[in-house]
Structure 1
Amino acid sequence: MVIILRPQDDAIEILDKISQFLAERGMKVSEKKTKLTATTDGFDFLGWNFKVQKNGKFRCVPSVDNYKTFRKKAKAIVNNSNYGATTKAEKLAPVVRGWRNYHRFCKMGGTRYSLYHIETRAFRVFNKEAKKNRYTSKQLLDKAFPSVPYSENKHINVKGEKSPYDGDLSYWSERNSKLYDSHTSKALKRQNHKCGHCGLKMLSDEKVHLHHVDGNHKNWKNKNLLAIHESCHDYIHMSKRQS
């Protein structure tokens, strides 16, 4: 747990309040896993780096470790000699789209987070392949690095006095659906924010997966898309492998 302190905050007082809050729920603060930090020093959390700059503006960017992990995964696909350019583009697309979607509320400008260097490397590799030219390589590049719009600091605020502990499943299910891309979000809305497999409400403690009913991941028609729990998705595919 990371506790963010403003200049006027008292660290001990804040920590005591949090300890009391957790104690009422049968939990306690772990000293090893708890960090007290000033907003101006910044900190990493869940793949992001948060910091309040000298001008007072809040800034969120992908953390260094998160970016390095993503870059390593992308480079492994680009440099894999067992794949042709078309296969590389198909394998890169979901990796890039997922990474960009995850960070769509961060500052993603500049050559680093725009993936300029990785794209340039991929283009050169694609263009070296037989029967490929600059035009076809550019087409594959656009497919491999799909653009995802980002809007810095446009996080969805929690309404009023709402809390994950208040038991309002409808509110939290509907709110969490807005955190996903358009296809998943629309599927959740059609399903009244319930899992398309088990019928239970979607809660924030489990990821939502988009399932292609006919198994064709190129078929994006609404009737072929179901928003389901991650565990339900695993169960469906495990059952198919065993049958």
Structure 2
Amino acid sequence: MIFLTSKILSWEKASSFIFKLQKRLFKSVYVHDLQKIFSIQKLILNSNSARLLAIREVTQISYIKKIAGVDGKTSLTFLERFELNENLKFNFQNWFPQSLKKVDFVSKEEITVELKISTISDRAWQALIKLAIEPAHEAIFSPCFFGFRLSRSIYEVQNSFFLNLSADSFGLQKRILKLNLNKSLSFYNYNYLVDKIISPRSIKLGIFRSLKKGIILSYLQEERLTKYEFCNLLYNVFFDGLEQFGNCIRFSNTVIFFLKPFDNEKKLTETIKKFLYDLGLSSLDFNFDIISVLKGFDFLYWNFKLAKNGDFLCTPSLQYYKIFLKRVKRIINNSNYGSEIKVSKLSPIIREWYLYNKFSNLKGVRFSLFYIKKRCFRLFNKESKQDFYSSKRLVDNCFLNSNTFYNENFEDKIFSSPYFGHFIFWNKYHFVKLHKDVLINNYYCIHCGMNFSLY
């Protein structure tokens, strides 16, 4: 009996089953088949696998499980999870959320962010709804929008800047219009957001109740919070449509417009302001900046700049580099740690630094981390337990992957999507008669037009 239940409740089978439904939903939204959209969403919401995956995500995987809501619970027992499963099964269409709890969170930039944490049951409902809403909006999001999405990589932003500002696209003749939006919105048009969400009416009613309870649309750039945050998805849906006003890149709360020599930035700002006023935002929620490509600007902890000869330069931003050095020096100069403990704490930070900047230009003394290596070697060599060779070995282990992550070319990188592949549809008006009683169904891809004939 235990063997059978383990087969029935296999997480791999449950996730693959939900992913197949999400791919069908993605395809249906792509061709605007409304009847099939809502039927597939109801299949996902009524699925036992989706409910169990949502509860597992909230109670076992998510980082926010460590923070208690109003109910004071940070974990659930085995029986309480199945009770929550039954509660979601009968009440997900008529959900009444509980009140929120305000919590101060410190980010990597050492900035305190105010979060409003829901209860475990509300978070499980939000995770369940997200499984049905996210693939639907993934199909209609603009390709100029980059964010914490499953189908887009953060390195595609660098590649997009390279394609728009390189010498082949006459980057020296362009200007940058930067639109900064607030990371959290407290006053906005609720009805506009609810009407924009692709979901059944009962789910929209539950989302509207959650918004009335005080959920703030926010875009948090912390990876441990953004992966399962429902507010980030609503934030992306709310601002969907900004990309229609010109050639731009949108990530998080920042939109970068690439202006050609004859583009009028005043008309563009007026149209964008009119669009934002219709969303219920005030002038305090956004601001515009015009930047020269020769002067350079910071975006996503990178500094983008064009040299006078037109070469594209992407380096780590000075602010992010100072924060990185502060984290490293705090560990190196701590006398409470030994050399081996320091290596275990330093190696993931340095590996993360090189992995994040593997497509950036790290040539130079500043970004080579030569002086940090020298400082580490001196401190390790002063210890009585270490000698020259052992301290050298520890430093090499700490900075081992600095050269392996470095790659300045985008051509070798393939940015794939979870929904990547041919979108195959059946042409019901076209049959090929092969023999007397054999017909060939004609399947084709809507992107490339390739035929997939099946007997």
Equivalent in 405, 419, 428 of residue 149 of structure 1: 405
1:3 is aligned to 2:256:
yes
Distance in 1 (CA, whole Å) between partners of 2:311 and 2:264 is 22
Distance in 2 (CA, whole Å) between partners of 1:113 and 1:42 is 18
Distance in 2 (CA, whole Å) between partners of 1:65 and 1:139 is 31
Distance in 1 (CA, whole Å) between partners of 2:274 and 2:311 is 31
Match of 1:116 in 2: 370
Match of 1:129 in 2: 383
CA shift digits 1:16-73 (9 cap, x unpaired) = 565577679x486867543221211110112111111111011110111100000010
Shift in CA distance, 106/44, structure 1 to aligned 2, threshold 3 Å:
same
1:101 is aligned to 2:362:
no
Match of 2:288 in 1: 34
- Report if the CA contact (8 A) 1:44-1:50 is conserved: yes
CA RMSD of superposed structures (Å): 3.1
Structure 1 segments unaligned to the other structure (5+ residues): 160-167, 173-243
Secondary structure of the corresponding residue to residue 154 of structure 1: coil
Task: After TM superposition, list the pairs within 5 Å mapping 1:193-208 onto structure 2.
Answer: none
Secondary structure of the corresponding residue to residue 361 of structure 2: coil
Shift in CA distance, 17/42, structure 1 to aligned 2, threshold 3 Å:
farther
Kindly, what percent of the aligned residue pairs are identical? 40
- Report if the CA contact (8 A) 1:4-1:37 is conserved: no
- Report if the CA contact (8 A) 1:5-1:36 is conserved: no
Q: TM-score, normalised by structure 1?
A: 0.57
Pairs aligned (count): 163
Deviation at 1:120, TM superposition (A): 0.8
Q: Which amino acid aligns with 1:151?
A: N
Specify the structure having the higher radius of gyration (Cα). 2
Match of 1:224 in 2: none
Secondary structure of the corresponding residue to residue 419 of structure 2: helix
Q: Which amino acid aligns with 2:344?
A: E
Shift in CA distance, 157/7, structure 1 to aligned 2, threshold 3 Å:
farther
Shift in CA distance, 81/56, structure 1 to aligned 2, threshold 3 Å:
same
Deviation at 1:137, TM superposition (A): 0.8
Secondary structure of the corresponding residue to residue 37 of structure 1: strand
- Report if the CA contact (8 A) 1:50-1:60 is conserved: yes
Q: Which amino acid aligns with 1:12?
A: K
Determine which structure has the larger helix proportion and give its number.
Answer: 2
Equivalent in 321, 341, 345 of residue 87 of structure 1: 341
Equivalent in 419, 422, 431 of residue 170 of structure 1: 419
- Report if the CA contact (8 A) 2:259-2:265 is conserved: no
Secondary structure of the corresponding residue to residue 309 of structure 2: coil
Secondary structure of the corresponding residue to residue 40 of structure 1: coil
Q: Which moved more, 1:36-45 or 1:70-79?
A: 36-45
Distance in 1 (CA, whole Å) between partners of 2:337 and 2:355 is 25
Distance in 1 (CA, whole Å) between partners of 2:306 and 2:280 is 30
Shift in CA distance, 34/171, structure 1 to aligned 2, threshold 3 Å:
farther
Deviation at 1:157, TM superposition (A): 8.4
Deviation at 1:152, TM superposition (A): 2.5
Distance in 1 (CA, whole Å) between partners of 2:345 and 2:276 is 43
- Report if the CA contact (8 A) 2:346-2:398 is conserved: yes
Shift in CA distance, 102/158, structure 1 to aligned 2, threshold 3 Å:
closer
Q: TM-score, normalised by structure 2?
A: 0.32
Structure 2 segments unaligned to the other structure (5+ residues): 1-253, 422-455
